[in-house]
Structure 1
Amino acid sequence: MIVQIKNIVPILQAKWLANHSETTIETISIDSRSLQNGSNTLFFALVGPNNDGHDYISALIEEGVQNFVVTYIPQNLENKSNFFVVEDTLKSLQLFAAYYRNLYHFPIIGVTGSNGKTIVKEWLNFLLSPDFNIIRSPKSYNSQVGVPLSVLAINEKHNFGIFEAGISTRNEMEKLEKIIQPTIGILTNIGSAHDEGFSNIGEKIKEKLKLFKNVSVLIYNKNKTIDSFLNPTINTFSWSCTDHHADVFIVTKSILDKTILKIKIQNNNFEIKIPFRDDASIENAIHCMMVMLYLEYDYKTIETRMELLFPVEMRLKLKNGINNTTLIDDSYSSDFQSLKIALDFLESQKQHKKKTLILSDIFQSGLSNEDLYSGVSQLIISNKINRVIGIGETISKYKSKFSNCTTFANTEEFIANLNVLNLNNETILIKGARTFHFEKIVSALEEKTHETVLEINLNAISHNLNFYKAKLKPETKIMVMVKAFGYGNGGFEIAKLLEHHKVSYLGVAFADEGISLKTAGIHLPIMVLNPENTSFEAIIHHHLEPEIYSLKGLKTFLKVAEQKKLYHFPIHIKFDTGMHRLGFEEENIEELISVLKENKSVTVKSILSHMATSDDIKHRDFAISQIDLFDKFSSKLMNELQIKPIRHILNTSGISNFPEAQYDMVRLGIGLYGVSNDVEEQKYLENVGTLKSIISQIRTIDAGESVGYGRRFIAEKTTKIATIPIGYADGISRLWGNGLGFVTINDQKATIVGSICMDMLMVDVSEIICKEGDQVIIFGESPTVTFMAEQLQTIPYEILTSVSQRVKRVFYRE
């Protein structure tokens, strides 16, 4: 993209205040944290419920950004850059994208639906790329912000486009239609996702169909519900496995791990084979086939390419590597736009100062190789990558464009030379096109651990954080609890993400948790809520901030502080208002004031208390009494010491149930990890952790035979038993066995039979089609930790924090 800055004023409907009028725009940005921002970037200062892009303009100017779309010019910045003042920065971003889209006139597929959008898009890219230079949405960029950013990546070399459109409520699709302007439409499966944004399924369907009002053709699975909402003027190309009135009729037949599709179109019949058996993959594959039929591909080509379809990995995964390395696994795609996203993820999750990129040849950029690799070089420089390892014949030819670069002709050559590359103590982004089979590189570099993993969805953490932020006043700070290894989900990786989101504080229980985070490179202030007196020296050394809850603790800390000649070291004073666990009581306040008065060694950074019943409406009066006491105690301390510290009393439940008591800060705990005590609120939270394993072995036993220790399960009939390599040493309660609990295999419940062992459990899979090596969900979407806690008569906290450290954590972003 190269646009003269003076030409975009009417497009944005802006008032232009120029400082550098001859500037050209080459990139668009909405993220102040991206290292890719530069002098030719146009930054849109988007305003969300808890973030305002205007707050970062001053820092961006210092970094060299010169062009900003704003609703107002921040104080003292009037003449320091080019400003486009508009009524709504998001609307202007969308207007700019719609204008840019109008500059190009090639076929564009618009994909919407509840499920399958990204998979259909990726498969279509694979199927059509031999014949077209395709631009497509990177990852799942299908929102009101993601769609315009996707469209703005088009360049003059592209001749085909595929863009997703996702909506969550009414009156959103019309805006996306103006940006995408699809010529071919695909309506994928309509499911329950985002149901809360619509009054009924009909309203959702009507909203989604707005994407297709100007298409040449709409491809969809024919059914009466959709048909009843279709505009009769829209040309359709339908398919069905049940309705013979569809344009294409399909009969499916499963054979081993594949599905045969018998296709009837007009008077022609042919067959194709796809490497999937599940209904969702079959439906997604048929949508792709329908596009090929519409584009008049011959049946042989369709048959050949469809059989090569593959599972789509839609996530960036963070893994532990050998030699103290951290791996970011993006080993299934290599295009310019997704490289930008992956490099931003690398910066937000880097765990070592040294950053390495392993990159294959890049396909379908729409640019000449010279321009493409020059652009890649600039990305690498701006992201401060220390070393580049290129794999492929093309990138090897452009090795000179990269500093500290080693290249190999293919993946096998790289693996053969792995020992001499000296990969250690670094964060490694592994990004390659599927044909290079970079999963082999991940396998070679990944730390070998047990096959049970706890997958942590970083997108879900961000979503849940923003959900609670939306409940707060703009000025209210937020502390996030990352104690107990992030409630079992992992400490540093989550802390790094929270630092990226610029929360105000992190909270840990003990000093060693905080020391671990500081040593790993976390810069956020960290409060230690249960400091032991013996840990005070370490707390000071590592710049942690202790909660002080007793006179003995205060005097001990002051003694250490005086010995170290500290000046205004931050401490946090806790009052007991009814929990009766830790904290100063009313009778201690006078002496507390006396000790703190005129003391220069410490400063009271915050005053806090803890609510005992914020989640239980039956005890609302008690909760209010705690808030009143906190107000009384904290006000007295503030008045006597003439200070204005941060005050905080609300935990996760308190944020929702007592918004009037936000004070200056709240403490978010279990809610961040997707668990709420409120059934209605739970609907809006996303699952964060999914505990997964595999089937180690399957056997069939006869009636009368038993399973496990103590023969606690005896088969009443011939029964198929699967053994899963996870047990109570991994954190699964023994009470969850013997028919009470279940796991999920291929979307079906498999009851746990017999006693749970230290390292294994056994399940009944008599009615489930499965094989050894198949994935097993221990908890996640089903069963949820909340359901497990109810059955075990405990709380979700215990389920989450019980997951053993020997279970590998894999962090990913969609």
Structure 2
Amino acid sequence: MSILIKDIIATLGATYLGTHPEEAVDNVSIDSRSLQNSSNSLFFALVGPNNDAHTYIEDLIKAGVENFVVNYIPEGCQDSANFLVVPNTLDALQQFAAYYRNQFHFPIIGLTGSNGKTIVKEWLNFLLSPDFNIIRSPKSYNSQVGVPLSVIAINKKHNLGIFEAGISTVNEMAKVEKVIRPTIGIFTNIGSSHDEGFKSLEEKISEKLLLFKDSEVIIYQKNELIDHNIQASAKKMSWSFDQEDADVYVYKKEINTDSASLQYSYQGKQFSLKIPFQDSASIENAISCLLTLLYFKYDHETIQSRMLLLYPVEMRLKVKNGINNCSIIDDSYSSDFQSLKIALDFLESQKQFPKKTVILSDIFQSGLSNEELYARVARLVVFNNINRIIGIGETISDFKELFANCITYKTTADFIADFENLDFSNETILIKGARSFQFEEIVQLLEEKTHETVLEINLNAISYNLNYFKSKLKPKVKIMVMVKAFGYGNGGLEIANLLEHHKVDYLGVAFADEGISLKNGGIKTPIMVLNPENTSFPAIIQHQLEPEIYCLKGLYAFLKIAKQKKLQHFPIHIKLDTGMHRLGFNEDTIEELVATLQGEETVKVQSILSHLATSDDLVHREFAFLQIALFEKMSARIMTALAINPIRHILNTSGISNYPDAQFNMVRLGIGLYGVSNDPAEQKYLENVGTLKSVISQIRTIGAGESVGYGRRFMAQKATRVATIPIGYADGISRGWGNGVGYVTIKDKKASILGSVCMDMLMVDVSEIECTEGDSVIIFGESPTVIHIAKMLGTIPYEVLTSISQRVKRVFYR
């Protein structure tokens, strides 16, 4: 890309304030945190419900960015950069992408549907790449922002595009249609995702079909509602399992041990197709690919040979613990230029060590010459302050000299053979390679070895839930996020890194050692210690943590140490007891508190806080209002007496939703970040964060009268197929969840727990489930949810989450 500022001005109809309209830009950015921003970037200052990128423009100018698309020019920034002023920066980003898209005239495949878009996109990329130079959406970039960013990556060497589009409500698809303008449309399926954004299923289908309004063909599973809403003039190419008038009629489906065989008719002829999957979703996605290949007029032999090579698509960037105190970012299944940029930004948001290493394979399908491609990769490496590059592949080895501190190998096997001679310790390592390089073998070498039970943490879901609650806040209200108890069992440092990347105002921990661990991990966001012990005050001061002070004894102890260390205005947080009766200054101690702090220079009251006892129970609404009123009274007394204006906060997760008028200056987000709400109506708007997974260790069949587990608490009434799972109460699974009370999910089916939960194992009934040893098992996540488990056990979701043992490996992914 190289586009003159003056041409962009005309495209956007922007008001221009600057001095260099003849300058050109070569990339687009929307993330002020990205280290890839440069003087040749065009930064679109997007405005969200609780975030305005205009506030970061001054810092971006200092970092060297010169070109901005804005709604307004921030004060003090006039005459310091090129500004293109528009009414709406998101609309402008889409207009710019549509303008850029119109420079190219090759086939574009557009995908929409409730599920399967990314899988079909990646499979089509694999199936068609021998014959086309393809540009496609990186990862799942299918939103109002993701679509234009994907399209802007097109270059002159590409001759086929594959872009996906996702929507959550009406009036969205028409905008992204102008950006993608697909010539070939694929409707993967229609399901319940985002149903809340539409009045009816028909409205949802009608809206999604707008993507294909000018497409030359629409590929879809035959469906009465879809047929009804497709324009009569549109060319359709349909498939079906049960309607013989579909273009492709799949009249027989056989599920084998490790594959599926399909018999189908097309244009009056019968064919058979074997694919390496058994599940229904993969079969449907494969059929969408089949129809696309048929539309491109591939012969049956080519279709069969390529589709036999289809593979599971890994759509996630994973963060794992590595050997020698390393952190591993696993992106070992893709290697293209756009996804490399995304992975490097993710590396920056999740780096746990100053030292950063990238293990990178040859990059394919960039649409650039090798010289230009690896020159760009080298610039990315410099922008992102990468300390070491390990290149694997014939091509990247030829361009080794472009990189500082670089070692290369021709093959993955060469790297593995030399592994013992390489030093990996105390660093964050991004592993990114094309599938053909089998970088999963490198991940296995570098990954810390633990057992097969893992707690997977969805970082996208955390970001989504954070933004959901931020959207409820009034302008300028700050947000503290609680990462105590090891991030509610989900992992402290990794989540803290993400929250720091999102620029939250405060992090909250219970005890000093939790805060020290985060500070040692490189966290710079202010950290409040909510339950400090007096003996921890020296360590709190040493590590620049901020203590909550909740009683006079604690205040006197802290002031004594503060004076010994000759501190000046060290931040403290005053906790008031307004009715919780747990910790905090009572109303009758306020005068002594004020008297003690008056004229005190060693400390500064950074905030005043209290805690609602019944924020989640509207039956006690009046009690909550009494607490809020008392907090107002007590905090105002302190502020007046000391002539200060500190941050004030009383709301927790439930309080944010139930008492919006009591936000004061800050709120404290806790369990809601992790996808749990006490309100069933609100729960549907949150995304599941943690999925606890294990595997089947062994399967056996027992006869009637035989028992399972300690105490013979399960006695078989008939022949029963029993699977043993390597997770037990030492991992945090309550013994109360056994004996038929609870279940796990295997192959999307419930498997009841048989007998007692053991220390390291539990047994389940798989008599009605087709499964084998080594198959994945969901302990909790989407089903069962931690909310359901807590209800059945007579406890709360907090206890279920925080009980998960530290011996269970955490895997973070995006």
Q: TM-score if structure 1 supplies the norm length?
A: 1.00
- For residue 23 of structure 1, report the CA deviation from its aligned partner: 1.5
2:465 aligns to what? Answer: 464
Q: In 1, Cα distance between the equivalents of 2:626 and 2:371?
A: 70
Q: In 2, Cα distance between the equivalents of 1:373 and 1:22?
A: 28
1:668 aligns to what? Answer: 669
- For residue 136 of structure 1, report the CA deviation from its aligned partner: 0.2
Which secondary structure does the structure 2 equivalent of 1:750 belong to? strand
Q: Give the residue type in structure 1 aligned to 2:408.
A: T
1:192-341 mapped onto 2 (5 Å cutoff): 192-250=192-250, 251-341=252-342
- For residue 257 of structure 1, report the CA deviation from its aligned partner: 1.6
1:140 aligns to what? Answer: 140
1:90 aligns to what? Answer: 90
1:781 aligns to what? Answer: 782
Q: In 1, Cα distance between the equivalents of 2:718 and 2:10?
A: 76
Which secondary structure does the structure 2 equivalent of 1:273 belong to? strand
2:362 aligns to what? Answer: 361
User: Structure 1 residue 736 and structure 2 residue 737: aligned?
Assistant: yes
Q: In 2, Cα distance between the equivalents of 1:227 and 1:267?
A: 22
User: Structure 1 residue 384 and structure 2 residue 385: aligned?
Assistant: yes
1:329-478 mapped onto 2 (5 Å cutoff): 329-478=330-479
Q: In 2, Cα distance between the equivalents of 1:17 and 1:533?
A: 57
- Could you report, residue by residue, the CA deviation over 1:496-540 in whole angstroms, capped at 9, with x for unpaired residues? 100000000000001110011011110011000000011111100
Q: In 2, Cα distance between the equivalents of 1:112 and 1:411?
A: 36
Q: Give the residue type in structure 2 aligned to 1:677.
A: N
Q: In 1, Cα distance between the equivalents of 2:420 and 2:426?
A: 15
Q: In 2, Cα distance between the equivalents of 1:809 and 1:474?
A: 35
User: Structure 1 residue 153 and structure 2 residue 139: aligned?
Assistant: no
Q: Give the residue type in structure 2 aligned to 1:292.
A: L
Q: In 2, Cα distance between the equivalents of 1:415 and 1:727?
A: 36
1:187 aligns to what? Answer: 187
Q: In 2, Cα distance between the equivalents of 1:528 and 1:366?
A: 52
2:763 aligns to what? Answer: 762
2:488 aligns to what? Answer: 487
User: Structure 1 residue 31 and structure 2 residue 24: aligned?
Assistant: no
Q: In 1, Cα distance between the equivalents of 2:318 and 2:13?
A: 41
Q: In 2, Cα distance between the equivalents of 1:216 and 1:585?
A: 73
Q: Give the residue type in structure 1 aligned to 2:186.
A: I
Q: In 1, Cα distance between the equivalents of 2:445 and 2:272?
A: 39
Q: In 2, Cα distance between the equivalents of 1:69 and 1:232?
A: 41
2:502 aligns to what? Answer: 501
Q: In 2, Cα distance between the equivalents of 1:226 and 1:73?
A: 46
Which secondary structure does the structure 2 equivalent of 1:263 belong to? strand
Q: What is the identity percentage for the equivalent residue pairs of Structure 1 and Structure 2?
A: 70
- For residue 48 of structure 1, report the CA deviation from its aligned partner: 0.3
1:589 aligns to what? Answer: 590
2:697 aligns to what? Answer: 696
Q: Quick check: 1:13–1:92 contact (8 Å CA) kept in 2?
A: no
Q: Give the residue type in structure 2 aligned to 1:577.
A: T
Q: Give the residue type in structure 2 aligned to 1:740.
A: V
- For residue 225 of structure 1, report the CA deviation from its aligned partner: 2.1
Q: Give the residue type in structure 1 aligned to 2:353.
A: H
Q: In 2, Cα distance between the equivalents of 1:3 and 1:224?
A: 46
- Could you report, residue by residue, the CA deviation over 1:734-778 in whole angstroms, capped at 9, with x for unpaired residues? 000000000000100000001000000000000001000000000
Q: Give the residue type in structure 1 aligned to 2:634.
A: F
- For residue 21 of structure 1, report the CA deviation from its aligned partner: 2.9
Q: In 2, Cα distance between the equivalents of 1:395 and 1:416?
A: 19
1:52-131 mapped onto 2 (5 Å cutoff): 52-131=52-131
User: Structure 1 residue 514 and structure 2 residue 504: aligned?
Assistant: no
Q: In 1, Cα distance between the equivalents of 2:99 and 2:22?
A: 21
- For residue 19 of structure 1, report the CA deviation from its aligned partner: 2.3
Q: In 2, Cα distance between the equivalents of 1:584 and 1:357?
A: 51
Q: In 1, Cα distance between the equivalents of 2:273 and 2:686?
A: 40
2:711 aligns to what? Answer: 710
Q: Give the residue type in structure 2 aligned to 1:124.
A: L
Q: Give the residue type in structure 1 aligned to 2:289.
A: C
Q: In 2, Cα distance between the equivalents of 1:205 and 1:785?
A: 33
Q: Which runs of 4+ in 1 moved over 2 A?
A: 19-22
Q: In 1, Cα distance between the equivalents of 2:552 and 2:78?
A: 52
Which secondary structure does the structure 2 equivalent of 1:162 belong to? strand
Which secondary structure does the structure 1 equivalent of 2:718 belong to? coil
2:657 aligns to what? Answer: 656
User: Structure 1 residue 601 and structure 2 residue 602: aligned?
Assistant: yes
**Structure 1 residue runs without a partner (length 5+):** none
Q: Give the residue type in structure 2 aligned to 1:231.
A: Q
Q: Give the residue type in structure 1 aligned to 2:266.
A: I
Q: Give the residue type in structure 2 aligned to 1:523.
A: K
User: Structure 1 residue 5 and structure 2 residue 5: aligned?
Assistant: yes
Q: Give the residue type in structure 2 aligned to 1:343.
A: L
1:790 aligns to what? Answer: 791
2:559 aligns to what? Answer: 558
Q: In 1, Cα distance between the equivalents of 2:199 and 2:308?
A: 40
Q: Quick check: 1:652–1:669 contact (8 Å CA) kept in 2?
A: yes
- For residue 71 of structure 1, report the CA deviation from its aligned partner: 0.8
- For residue 107 of structure 1, report the CA deviation from its aligned partner: 0.4
- For residue 50 of structure 1, report the CA deviation from its aligned partner: 1.1
Q: Give the residue type in structure 1 aligned to 2:686.
A: L
- For residue 224 of structure 1, report the CA deviation from its aligned partner: 1.4
2:41 aligns to what? Answer: 41
Q: In 1, Cα distance between the equivalents of 2:51 and 2:166?
A: 22
- Could you report, residue by residue, the CA deviation over 1:288-326 in whole angstroms, capped at 9, with x for unpaired residues? 011000000010000000011000000000001111111
2:568 aligns to what? Answer: 567
Q: In 2, Cα distance between the equivalents of 1:18 and 1:502?
A: 30
Q: In 2, Cα distance between the equivalents of 1:424 and 1:233?
A: 62
- For residue 226 of structure 1, report the CA deviation from its aligned partner: 1.5
- For residue 6 of structure 1, report the CA deviation from its aligned partner: 1.4
Deviates more, 1:5-14 or 1:299-308: 5-14
Q: In 2, Cα distance between the equivalents of 1:566 and 1:264?
A: 82
- Could you report, residue by residue, the CA deviation over 1:229-280 in whole angstroms, capped at 9, with x for unpaired residues? 2211110011111100101111211111200011210222221111111110
Cα RMSD after superposing both structures: 0.6
- For residue 118 of structure 1, report the CA deviation from its aligned partner: 0.3
- Could you report, residue by residue, the CA deviation over 1:679-732 in whole angstroms, capped at 9, with x for unpaired residues? 000000000000000000000111111100000001111110000000000000
Q: Give the residue type in structure 1 aligned to 2:10.
A: P
1:531 aligns to what? Answer: 532
Which secondary structure does the structure 1 equivalent of 2:595 belong to? helix
2:20 aligns to what? Answer: 20
Q: Quick check: 1:19–1:80 contact (8 Å CA) kept in 2?
A: no
Give aligned pairs, total.
Answer: 813
Q: In 1, Cα distance between the equivalents of 2:401 and 2:592?
A: 70
Q: Give the residue type in structure 1 aligned to 2:355.
A: K
- Could you report, residue by residue, the CA deviation over 1:324-380 in whole angstroms, capped at 9, with x for unpaired residues? 111100000000000000000000000111100100000000001011101111111
Q: In 2, Cα distance between the equivalents of 1:301 and 1:278?
A: 23
Which secondary structure does the structure 2 equivalent of 1:218 belong to? strand
- For residue 421 of structure 1, report the CA deviation from its aligned partner: 1.3
Which secondary structure does the structure 2 equivalent of 1:323 belong to? helix
Q: In 2, Cα distance between the equivalents of 1:802 and 1:58?
A: 45
Which secondary structure does the structure 1 equivalent of 2:324 belong to? coil
Q: In 1, Cα distance between the equivalents of 2:40 and 2:565?
A: 50
Q: In 1, Cα distance between the equivalents of 2:327 and 2:80?
A: 40
- Could you report, residue by residue, the CA deviation over 1:527-563 in whole angstroms, capped at 9, with x for unpaired residues? 0000001111110000000000000000010001001
Q: Give the residue type in structure 2 aligned to 1:207.
A: E
User: Structure 1 residue 808 and structure 2 residue 812: aligned?
Assistant: no
Q: Give the residue type in structure 2 aligned to 1:598.
A: G
Q: In 1, Cα distance between the equivalents of 2:222 and 2:189?
A: 11
